[in-house]
Structure 1
Amino acid sequence: MDFAMFSQIAQITDHLFLSSAAAVKTDRIRNYGITHVINLTLEIPNLNIPNLECIQIHVEDSPHARLSPYFDRCADKINDVHMRGGRTLVHCVAGVSRSATICIAYLMKYQRMPLEQAYFHCKKRRPVVHPNCGFWRQLIDYERRMLGRNTVKMIPSSMGMIPEVYREEVRNMF
């Protein structure tokens, strides 16, 4: 695994970026033209940079945490910023689960991508993307509500229930 990826900002679309908290630096924010930040951590304060709007949503990276109540709020904010010519960075501590989940929800709602496609789109741009199984259940429910169907399902594995897109990864662990 390329651990340098954890400290990078990944460009998901022309106006949406995904990263860990460690990647959120003033010079990088300016270089990418980022105008808004969605911080999905409990413990990391927002940046204090002039002309940068930050929103913090306190949520744990736990399979039991409820992130879905924020899917529409965050997706709508990302879209509103885009419509006004801005760019949004979504981050959590590692840039793996919470922030990736929000980016996937945005792609489903505003790019009309099915869940499986949205996941692989993010995974291609940031290979460490790996939402926890609880967030996957919430994304599967969201896809059903948004698109009226599901492209990913939870399946049994030696590690418990997992999204089927993790099947090969789990199989290769043993």
Structure 2
Amino acid sequence: MTTPPCPLLAQAVGQPSVHGLSQITSSLYISNGVEASNELMLSTNHITTVINVSVEVANACFEGIQYVHVPVVDAPTTHLYDFFDPIADHIHSVEMKQGRTLLHCAAGVSRSATLCLAYLMKYHSMPLLDAYLWTKLCRPIIRPNIGFWEQLIHYEFKLFGKNTVHMISSPVGMIPDIYEKRSV
């Protein structure tokens, strides 16, 4: 992986985290649903917006925090693509107001990671491969489901007119080629 193309990203991340909040940029974090309901963790990290990308996790609704709900399940057939632009735009608008966003799903592995990748592609001009490698560096447990990968690949082509990740056939079915090229 090369150095992130955005100076904001280069100085944003702390230590990689699989527990607690994983900082992706200076204004974007990913976590699981349990951490998203930890008021001390939210206030310590100056979170102003929480985006819940799940049906199974209820919002805690703490005072002074804006909540957005994207009620979707983590299934390859779930159409998350329609949320890529609105959620990326919302994360960007929070950042422009000097706020911080926490993006979470149940485990902080698939749905929230997928929307994070879409945001990095749109607002940090990162190709999908770089966005994935960067986010995986910050939160090693991410693993979008196969349906979300297909949608991300389509979105990357829409944004940049080319793809850095492709779906390939494997003994377990279609997978993104990055899983075959690297042991990530």
Q: TM-score, normalised by structure 1?
A: 0.93
Q: What residue is the counterpart of 1:146 in the other structure?
A: 159
Question: Whole-Å Cα distance in 1 between the matches of residues 114 and 150 of structure 2?
Answer: 11
Runs of 4+ in structure 1 displaced over 2 angstroms? none
- Give yes or no for contact 2:18–2:140 (8 Å, CA) kept in 1: no
Alignment gaps of 5+ in structure 2: 1-16
User: Secondary structure at 1:18's aligned position in 2?
Assistant: strand
| 2:147 maps to 1:134 | yes
Larger relative helix fraction: 1
For 1:19 and 1:113, how far apart are their aligned partners in 2? Answer: 21
The percent identity for this pair of structures is 45
| Counterpart among 61, 80, 91 of residue 74 in structure 2 | 61
Of the three residues 14, 17, 20, the one matched with 2:32 is: 20
Q: Distance in 2 between matches of 1:149 and 1:30?
A: 40
**Contact 1:36/1:52, CA 8 A, preserved across alignment:** yes
Aligned residue number for residue 110 of structure 1: 123
Residue correspondences, number: 166
Q: CA deviation at 1:7?
A: 3.2
Cα RMSD over matched residues?
Answer: 1.1
Name the counterpart of 1:125.
Answer: 138
Q: Is 1:46 matched up with 2:52? A: no
Query: What secondary structure, in the 3-state scheme, does the structure 2 residue paired with 1:7 have?
Result: coil
Q: Which structure 1 residue ranges, 5 or more long, are not aligned?
A: none
How does the TM-score come out when normalised to structure 2? 0.88
Q: Distance in 1 between matches of 2:156 and 2:123?
A: 12
Is the 2:50–2:65 Cα contact (8 Å) retained in structure 1? yes
* Contact 1:6 1:23 survives alignment (8 Å): no
**Aligned twin of 1:71:** 84
